[in-house]
Structure 1
Amino acid sequence: MESLQTTSIQSDQAPSMKHSKRGGWTTFPFIIGAVMGLTLAAGAGSANLIVFLVTVMNIKSINATQINNIITGCYSLFPVAGAVIADSFFSSFYVVSVFAFVSLLGLIMLTLASTIHSLRPPTCAIGSLACEAPSKLQYAVLYLALALASLGVGGTRFTVSTMGAEQFNKPNEQGTFFSWYFFTLYLASAISLTAIIYVQDSVSWGLGFGIGVVANAIGLAVFLLGKRFYCHTKPKGSPFVGIARVLVAAIRKRRKLETFQSQGYFHGDNTKAISSPTESLRFLNCAALRYEDDRKSDRSYSSSWWLCTVEEVEDLKTLIKIMPLWSSGILLSTTIALINSLTVLQALTMDRHLGPRFKIPAGSFLVFSILATALSISIIDRFLLPMWKNLTRRSLKPLQQIGIGHVINIFAMVGSALVETRRLRVVRTHHLNGEPPGPVVPMSGLWLVVPLLVIGVGEAFHFPGQVALYYQEFPTSLKSTSTAMISLLIGIGYYLSTAIIDSVRRSTGWLPDNINDGRLDYVFWLLTAIAFVNFGYYLLCTKFFKYQNTENHENEASA
């Protein structure tokens, strides 16, 4: 994994580690153990949610789908809120501890709802008009359980990754941690999509949710056991207030530059700050200029909505510079989300048998992508990156990793289009058009595995690369928020994919109820075009982007 560079960690944490002997690889098993347990717990509560709502809670399928979409969106968007709390008010340790306990409560309630008869409606045949809907009490318990589970994931998933990175003061060690973090995340997700779903479907829902409770409890316990080994970073208050102050102060002072003589730039208590702000985005610099009327009654200066520090000005500039790069990940996530959902539709029409008795569930095909990502991350970190460094004498930078991921994702879109073209050719050869669901297409569903594997390899490059980039480039006060930006990309990507599908259905005939009568291959070629154009946009963003702390980058690369 590309080396990460953050001056704050090196200057602020290194001395603490030296004297207290905290942090470092001693904390690794505790944090990774927590990631494994908490991710398994999250999968137990969400991977098979639609089936639970329909078969156990007697909720109509469309309503169940809407509930699932809301929960999935919350799982992706809430981590940003958790990261902001960690950055602004409490340390990452306390945020993870509290929200891990919250998710535990949610899973306990889901377990009770699936096992206690009074907390769920009477069992009936799926789709029967005589099914009794949940009572108000049953709905209340269900919604509270799902809300607690969502909040729990929001407060832990990416906050714990930031805390893990804070334990290391060497950039290459931080990068290695992020690789193993993603490996564990995907491995636990794969277990949830296979083993836990099997238990829920074939054994009992209570046992399936109970496994999640045990996994959550173990993850929380392991995390708490490492408390005395962790290096803790104290929050410095909400960084977003400082950002807002810069904008307000810059606007207020835009006319004072010509009429007042400044007293230099304001640095606050930071004696090591640079003497003046950078020349980029110069209109923001006036927010840090001191004027006579900025003085307080005791003739001193302090941060306010009229005066900001140079550091606050530079933090806002950093965010503005990196946001175009971040935005290039939205369509990348959107194409992946679309492939995942459309692949399930394809699988439902194809031969999914492995041998005479076993049939792969359509929804389980996505596990191939997750496994490919987990395996690829390990190979990339252990073999490809060291090999690259030995050959070039330089580490592979985050922007390069992300770019490789973009290219691989384009190939995955092309692969999906070619597989669908072949599937439709078989459909027309055997005259399988007609009303849904239609007969099974005599073509193995394993053809779908190939593009899914390619997508998984691409994710192994661009997702860890993006986390490394944001952690490295975001202001020190926004480190937790930086790692949660990936989750925000995924959430927006899933919502945008829904909008694209709706737009395609309204304007074309490519996506009828029976995809055998449609042109799903055209949809995949459209995604290929979107991915290609988005890659061009990404290259344009990289052309105007410059790494911070360039000298440290070069030193790390040559080390």
Structure 2
Amino acid sequence: MFGLCPPHYTHTLLSTPQHQPPGSTEPSRGPALMSRLRPLHRSASKPSCGLTLVSGLCPPHAAQASPPSDSTLVHPDSRPTQLTLLQREQGSIIATSEDFSSSEMAHTEKVEGHKENSTDYTMDGTIDIKGRPCLRSKGGRWSACSFIVVFEAFERLAYFGVAPNLILYLTNKLHQGTVESSNNVTNWLGTIMLTPILGAYIADSHLGRYWTFIFSSAIYLLGMILLSLTVTLPSLRPPACNSLNVEDCKTHTKEIQVAIFFLALYIIALGAGGTKPNISTLGADQFDIYDPKEKALKLSFFNWWTFAIFFGNLLSSTFLVYIQDNVSFSVGYIIPTVALAFSILVFFLGTPFYRHKLPSGSPITRIAQVLVAAVRKWKVPYPVDSTELYELDSEYYSKKAHYKINHSASLRFFDKAAVMIDSNSPWMLCPITQVEETKQIIKLLPVFITSIIPSVMMAQVLTLFIKQGVTLNRNIGPNFKIPSGSLSSFFTIGTLTSVAIYDRCFVPFMRKHTKNSRGITMLQRIGIGEALHIIIMIMAALIERWRLSIVKNHDLVYQKNTVPLTVFILSPQFILMGVAEMLVEVGKMEFFYDQAPEGMKSLGASIFTTSIGIGNFVSSFLLSTVARVTRGGGKSGWIENNLNASHLDYYYGFFVVLNVINFLLFLVVSKFYVYNKEGVEIDNEMKEIATVTVSK
């Protein structure tokens, strides 16, 4: 019958000790299953064994005191100790312990008669806002995520209250040309997607996800308020201009007006950089991956997260865009500002329910240390036995609520960082877990590179696709005209519909045949979306060629008249792009989060947003370069301010070729990618624990 032993004795009982590196003073290391299931929060100065239930299995010095007669487990210094019961059968108990101050726990746990309470703590090391270990019944899961999802819906209402019509504001109000306005939109979108790197760094190194999010939201709201003022105050708005020549209209615009407008936009980008990587990972943190039921709930989180995003998108691209076109940009920007303020309030109200993970230090610094140490020791030979590589003991990771990763044979060069030498500098010697974390991030880079071109395709939805729609007939009946920015609602409808069908129909169907909990692998999902991009751009090129033929037939090349062709001819490319968004972008978000090391989830989320950001900057580069190169010889280029005199069909054909090349490269990358085994090992360990039977 197992007693309650110190963590390192429990490890000895439940796992086979591994060889200890020569000269190391750390206890022997093993799989450390128990510490991974119940991270400890004991300071290094505490005794190694603070309690016992039954003597016999702990060494004599480990037993400190007998339990009181009422079976309450008490630490020698009178602090209550938390028990996590993994198995109890006929009086037999396997458990790990975690002690914390009496101010953090209002009652002591009793073994007898309180089995449900003793198993109510999360097993992933999460804590509440006051730093106490989380009770499973008091928060987390969808009770916490409901606040987060509502926040995201209204925050997206604010964000997409600006984004869909931004190119038209730049064109019609700030009097910018097609290339300049398109590039300004994609540059802003790119910045919004790159600033999460800073937000993730601050969260992981200093403030944690919750407080980084709170401060960033305040900056975000400040930017929205300033943006509303720039379109409301007459002194900050350029006067109207009806000239067909963009250069003539630019003379009416003051530099200070443009500067303040873009200042507001980039304040928004800075604030969004702190919210984007942390709100999604905070949502994922609400599900304990060591609990099978919660892990199952987490599988659909990212899909419904996307549903909330595009629900807010749909409202903004219809209701708000209509107000901006038919009432004023002033009212159209004030409403999303109020929506953002409301979303922050909703998030704040959910504070008592959130589970939090402690900041684990800068992942960028940890990665840099491995790279530097490996390079500096490139001449040092590998040890014959991989267990001689440097590693910290399991109890260290337990106290830090970190996760220990076993050594892998891939990317062996980086193992040099863990080869033991005389120096103890973190820039010369890194533990295996840190090395494996670095390997896992490096493994993501090829997928990251092949995910940039799909993001370039998404950038066209809010730029050239919208500009095409402006030239077409948008009337529905005699009295209603579809706002140009509302065309993105077709994209949103495609995403919303496909998310629901994918999650509720496709995944359950495929799960029966593939035995994969996701239905198909994450890379297969992304690959299907990338193949769909090829089809979409072929379709877009053919539709644009049709539009240009109508323009020439009606002699409208240099006329401002509407092309006699319904705007609904663009709906297939918008809708299918929404389906591709669900496959590629949601797949990327899930992939980079899932495959990032447990202590670098925020970095994984920022890798996802970085791919989108770089995609937007690449879109700007390609648009400017193609416009300049094709304009030579006195001929009209592929992209002119006048789309009727342009050749977007050629430009979309160029995208077809680019997508084919990228897709072939993606197939090679995905073929050789090996998924991290950590998640599989956790699943297997949970199954083993569930079937353990301990005899009396």
In which range does the TM-score fall when normalised by the shorter chain? 0.7 to 0.9
Match of 1:511 in 2: 638
Answer yes or no: is 1:85 the counterpart of 2:197.
Answer: no
Alpha-carbon distance, 1:55 to partner: 6.5
Letter of the structure 2 residue corresponding to residue 285 of structure 1 = D
Answer yes or no: is 1:432 the counterpart of 2:552.
Answer: no
Answer yes or no: is 1:281 the counterpart of 2:395.
Answer: no
- In the alignment, the residues of structure 2 paired with residue 383 and residue 258 of structure 1 have an alpha-carbon distance, to the nearest angstrom, of 50
Match of 1:36 in 2: 153
Letter of the structure 1 residue corresponding to residue 223 of structure 2 = G
Equivalent position SS for 2:581: helix
Match of 1:120 among 236, 258, 261: 236
Q: Is the 8 A contact 1:87 1:479 kept in 2?
A: no
Alpha-carbon distance, 1:431 to partner: 5.2
Match of 2:77 in 1: none
**Farther-moved stretch of structure 1 (177-186 vs 385-394):** 385-394
Answer yes or no: is 1:525 the counterpart of 2:653.
Answer: yes
State the identity %: 32
Match of 1:208 in 2: 332
Change (3 A) 1:276 1:192: closer
Equivalent position SS for 2:380: coil
Q: Is the 8 A contact 2:164 2:486 kept in 1?
A: no
**Farther-moved stretch of structure 1 (145-154 vs 173-182):** 145-154
Equivalent position SS for 1:12: coil
Match of 2:93 in 1: none
Q: Is the 8 A contact 2:317 2:487 kept in 1?
A: no
- In the alignment, the residues of structure 2 paired with residue 520 and residue 144 of structure 1 have an alpha-carbon distance, to the nearest angstrom, of 31
Match of 2:486 in 1: 364
Equivalent position SS for 2:541: helix
Letter of the structure 1 residue corresponding to residue 350 of structure 2 = G
5 Å-filtered alignment, 1:231-310, equals 231-257=355-381, 264-271=388-395, 277-291=407-421, 293-294=422-423, 301=424, 304-310=426-432
**Farther-moved stretch of structure 1 (237-246 vs 208-217):** 208-217
Letter of the structure 2 residue corresponding to residue 154 of structure 1 = G
**Farther-moved stretch of structure 1 (17-26 vs 403-412):** 17-26
Residue deviations 1:45-92, cap 9 Å, x none? 444345556776x67668766654443322222223212222222221
Alpha-carbon distance, 1:475 to partner: 1.4
Match of 1:104 among 216, 221, 232: 221
Alpha-carbon distance, 1:178 to partner: 0.8
Equivalent position SS for 2:565: strand
Match of 1:551 among 638, 661, 680: 680
- In the alignment, the residues of structure 1 paired with residue 600 and residue 530 of structure 2 have an alpha-carbon distance, to the nearest angstrom, of 26
Change (3 A) 1:64 1:523: closer
**Farther-moved stretch of structure 1 (354-363 vs 61-70):** 61-70
Alpha-carbon distance, 1:535 to partner: 1.3
Alpha-carbon distance, 1:269 to partner: 4.7
Residue deviations 1:79-124, cap 9 Å, x none? 232122222222211111111122122222233344445x525755
Change (3 A) 1:155 1:524: same
Residue deviations 1:7-63, cap 9 Å, x none? 89985247944467331111121111111122222233444345556776x676687
Match of 2:107 in 1: none
Match of 1:3 in 2: none
Q: Is the 8 A contact 2:126 2:358 kept in 1?
A: no
Q: Which has the larger radius of gyration?
A: 2
5 Å-filtered alignment, 1:413-432, equals 413-428=537-552, 430=553, 432=555
Match of 1:4 in 2: none
Match of 1:327 among 445, 449, 453: 449
Residue deviations 1:403-457, cap 9 Å, x none? 22112222212221232333344445x25364x3465433222111112211111
Match of 1:298 in 2: none
- In the alignment, the residues of structure 1 paired with residue 338 and residue 555 of structure 2 have an alpha-carbon distance, to the nearest angstrom, of 47
- In the alignment, the residues of structure 1 paired with residue 162 and residue 380 of structure 2 have an alpha-carbon distance, to the nearest angstrom, of 57
Answer yes or no: is 1:158 the counterpart of 2:273.
Answer: no
Letter of the structure 2 residue corresponding to residue 511 of structure 1 = W
Alpha-carbon distance, 1:471 to partner: 1.0
**Farther-moved stretch of structure 1 (324-333 vs 8-17):** 8-17
Match of 2:609 in 1: 487
TM-score (norm 2): 0.70
Alpha-carbon distance, 1:338 to partner: 3.6
Q: Is the 8 A contact 1:432 1:439 kept in 2?
A: no
- In the alignment, the residues of structure 2 paired with residue 383 and residue 263 of structure 1 have an alpha-carbon distance, to the nearest angstrom, of 46
- In the alignment, the residues of structure 2 paired with residue 144 and residue 519 of structure 1 have an alpha-carbon distance, to the nearest angstrom, of 33
Alpha-carbon distance, 1:311 to partner: 1.0
Match of 2:303 in 1: 179
Letter of the structure 1 residue corresponding to residue 282 of structure 2 = M
Match of 1:502 in 2: 624
Structure with bigger helix share is 1
Q: Is the 8 A contact 2:175 2:249 kept in 1?
A: no
Letter of the structure 1 residue corresponding to residue 407 of structure 2 = P
Change (3 A) 1:65 1:450: closer
Equivalent position SS for 2:463: helix
Match of 2:352 in 1: 228
Gaps of 5+ in 2: 1-35, 40-121, 128-132, 289-293, 398-402, 631-635, 691-696
Change (3 A) 1:239 1:404: same
TM-score (norm 1): 0.86
Letter of the structure 2 residue corresponding to residue 12 of structure 1 = D
Answer yes or no: is 1:311 the counterpart of 2:440.
Answer: no
Change (3 A) 1:552 1:525: farther
Alpha-carbon distance, 1:290 to partner: 1.4
Match of 2:587 among 453, 465, 480: 465
Change (3 A) 1:284 1:523: same
Residue deviations 1:141-196, cap 9 Å, x none? 54553333222211112320110000012333222111111111122122222211
Answer yes or no: is 1:477 the counterpart of 2:606.
Answer: no
Residue deviations 1:343-382, cap 9 Å, x none? 2343233322222332323333222112211221122112
5 Å-filtered alignment, 1:345-360, equals 345-360=467-482
Letter of the structure 2 residue corresponding to residue 314 of structure 1 = E
Answer yes or no: is 1:400 the counterpart of 2:524.
Answer: yes
Q: Is the 8 A contact 2:371 2:414 kept in 1?
A: yes
Q: Is the 8 A contact 1:45 1:107 kept in 2?
A: no
- Aligned Cα RMSD in Å? 3.4
Alpha-carbon distance, 1:473 to partner: 0.7
Alpha-carbon distance, 1:477 to partner: 2.3
Alpha-carbon distance, 1:507 to partner: 3.9
Letter of the structure 2 residue corresponding to residue 527 of structure 1 = F
